[in-house]
Structures are given as C-alpha cells and as structure tokens.
Structure 1
C-alpha cells in the first residue's frame, strides 16, 4: 500500500521524505482544506527534496466552482508545475449544482499531461458519486482522493469499498481524511492500494494578534502509519 502525505509546508514535506513516505501532496493552508502552494515553496521542495510530489491546484478556499479568472489562474499554476518538473497535479472543478464540470476539468487534465492527475476532495461534494466516478474514468483521471463523503474516511468505508469495486482497476480510489496508524488496517484489508494522510500535530507558537492553529506532518506519526501498513 502506498502512503501519500498531505504536506502543508516545507517542514512537512521534509518530514514525509525522512520518514519514508512514498509521495506527498504539496499544498498550503490545510486548515481550509488546502490551497495551491506558493512559488517559493514549490521551488524549495524541488531544489532540496526528491520525494515524489503531486501539487494541489486550488486557488481559494470554499466551494469548487470557479470563475473565468480563477480557471485561468489554475491553468497558469499547472503550467508552472510542469515547468518545474513535478510528478502530478491534484485538482478539479464542479458546477454550481455540484455535478462534475466535465469540460473545464478536461482542460486541466489535458494541460497537465504527461503528469499524473488526481481529482481532489471536491469529489466528496458531488450528489451522485457513482456517476461522477465513471465520468472521471472516461476523462482518463488516474485517481480520486475521497473520504467517502463523510468527514472521516473510516466512517464511510462501505461507500469507499463500493467505489473501489466500481473502479475495477480503471482508476485508483485513494481514501483520505482521518487515516492514522490505528485505523489504516481497515483500508489495507479492504483492498485499497493507496491512502492519503496528513499525520499532523499542532505546533506550539507564541501568542500574537494574528495567532492561528499551525500544524506539521509528524515524523513519528508517518513512521507509525508505514509500520501499520
């Protein structure tokens, strides 16, 4: 089973590599579900690390319905990631009715090639996941990151198993959200080949006017998940 770590900073990415994780999803602002990482973070990871890296392309927090300008920004960010020789893109677009925006998602997929393309947790907002899954298969998406439309993946293992059966090897179903060393066995025994986890801990910081919760992917937690796989 492959372990992907959701790395929200350079330190998280470095910890993932040192712990032996197989891949990272690089992002920032995990507190809002993750956003596109800065140019500086992209460059630093590429220059100093060698772990397989997929980059989240999500221009803002909130829903996954994007304006013309936001769509243009996403395309420019994908082009940048290709120029920097990253390994994959994590992205996707929905329509206002929470169905898959096939046309614009296809543009992103085609632009990203030959990089791997993962449809992100926008999938957990769609009304008919079975229909959306087949649409993503038809688009040639390599994998779907999903919690099974629940806050924690372990709470909807039945739907995840159903989706994995429907995928039938045509697309990877990668469970994510709340996966840790204590429950990863459920996913291994259910036949999933990849899982996604942040394995994070809170960082202590001084109290200031702009204080906010900060987290980092923890070396020991990552190793514990790998040991349990």
Structure 2
C-alpha cells in the first residue's frame, strides 16, 4: 500500500515545531484552533518556514463561522492570500459558499487565479454543501488541486461509503484529504475502508498560560487557555496511520 500522507493542523509556531519533530509530511497553518482556525500572520508563516522543510499551507479565513463573506471580507482574504504566497506559502486553504451553501464559483475562480501555480486547497466548507459529489465536480472544473472533507456533516464513520465512492471516481482528478473527527480509534478504519491516501488532524489539547491567570478575574482556568496540538495525541494517531495496510 502506498504511504499515507499526514497533515498536521497547526495554530502556532509551537505546533509547527512539534509536528516537525514528529515527522509529519505537511502543515495546514492557521491561528485560533479553538475557533476552528483563522488566517495566520505573515510573521507566523515566515518563522514556520525557517523551522521546517515541510510544505506549509496557510488557511485564509476572515472570521469565525460561515463561508459567505461580505465583499470587503472577500477582498481582504484575497489580499491575505497574495501576501502569504509572497512570503513563502506553498499553497492556500480556503472555502467560499453562497447563502444557500452552494459553491461560490466566481469567488473560487478569483482565489484560484491569485494562488497561481501554488497548491489550491478547498477546505471543509465542502461538507456544508447539499450535494457533495456535484460540488466536488465543480471544484475539479475550477482547477482546485485538493479538498479537505469528512464526507458531510454526519460523523465521519457514517460517511465512509460516500468517501470511498468519491475517492474511487474522482481521486484521479483531485486529491482528497480526509479530516474532521479523526481520532486514534477510527483513523485506521477510515483510511482502510475509503482508500484515501491523505489524512488531516490536529489532536488538540488546552494549553494554560499562567501569566494571565494571576490577574484573578476568573477561577476557570479555561478562560486563560487556548487550543494547541498535543504531542501525545498526535503520536497516537500517527501510530495508527502507520498500521494501515498491515
């Protein structure tokens, strides 16, 4: 069986260091994992590029929740993408939908043009569309290189038949990377039953920063913590991935 490519979802330079030491293949870089990721700073990208030789794909996202942006947010995202590519991004991760959760074709075209010869990755906004197969065909026509998907909005284990169907029928036209709900107990089953050769996960944990806790404004330590990758959780998932095909 061909090697499974592993992508770490990283929200900081700290996370990149851990992923590099563990031997991941590539990184999706963002900020604010606790809100499912936002556009990372150029400084974070530049430092990450200094720390690893892995391909790094920043996610461009203007705000939490939703993928139907006002025009000014969209223009800001195009600018961010241009700036990140200028400073060494190997590709850009993004997703644009209309109000009815269909693919926003025009905006996707514009972003594809901005990304140029770098990798074009459409994120899990795809999972919110009403017809995953039809949406995937649109993205293929739009020259998207790769999509991140869990096969829809259900639990990933409920979507294995659809994921296998998409991989079997479209995997030679667009790269499919499975992600969303990947855990140590299910990753081997997901990869084995779908035949997908790329997997995306973060293995998050809450990281406490005592420098703000001393102010004593709250007794809840979660108020002074943030999400980052857990080295232990990443190792657990990686060990299961390495067993695929045994």
* TM-score, normalization by structure 1: 0.93
SS at match of 2:208: coil
CA drift of 1:94 comes to 0.6
1:70 aligns with 2:73: yes
Q: Which runs of 5+ in 1 are unaligned?
A: none
Whether the aligned pair in 2 keeps the contact of 1:202 and 1:216 (CA below 8 Å) is: yes
1:148 aligns with 2:151: yes
SS at match of 1:203: strand
CA RMSD after TM alignment: 1.7
Q: Equivalents in 1 of 2:217, 2:198: separation in Å?
A: 40
Larger RCO (alpha carbons 8 Å, 6+ apart): 1
Q: Which runs of 5+ in 2 are unaligned?
A: 242-246
Based on CA coordinates, which of the two structures has the bigger radius of gyration?
Answer: 2
What are the Cα deviations for residues 12-44 of structure 1, in whole angstroms up to 9, with x where unaligned? 111011111111100011122211012221222
Q: Equivalents in 1 of 2:117, 2:152: separation in Å?
A: 29
Partner in structure 1 of residue 227 of structure 2: 215
**Paired positions, count:** 229
Q: Equivalents in 2 of 1:41, 1:221: separation in Å?
A: 23
SS at match of 1:16: helix
Whether the aligned pair in 2 keeps the contact of 1:174 and 1:195 (CA below 8 Å) is: yes
What are the Cα deviations for residues 182-204 of structure 1, in whole angstroms up to 9, with x where unaligned? 21111221211101101122223
Whether the aligned pair in 1 keeps the contact of 2:42 and 2:84 (CA below 8 Å) is: no
Partner in structure 2 of residue 224 of structure 1: 236
Partner in structure 2 of residue 139 of structure 1: 142
CA drift of 1:209 comes to 3.8
- Give runs of aligned pairs for residues 1-229 of structure 1, distance below 5 A: 1-150=4-153, 152-189=155-192, 190-206=194-210, 207=213, 208-209=216-217, 211-229=223-241
Whether the aligned pair in 2 keeps the contact of 1:46 and 1:84 (CA below 8 Å) is: no
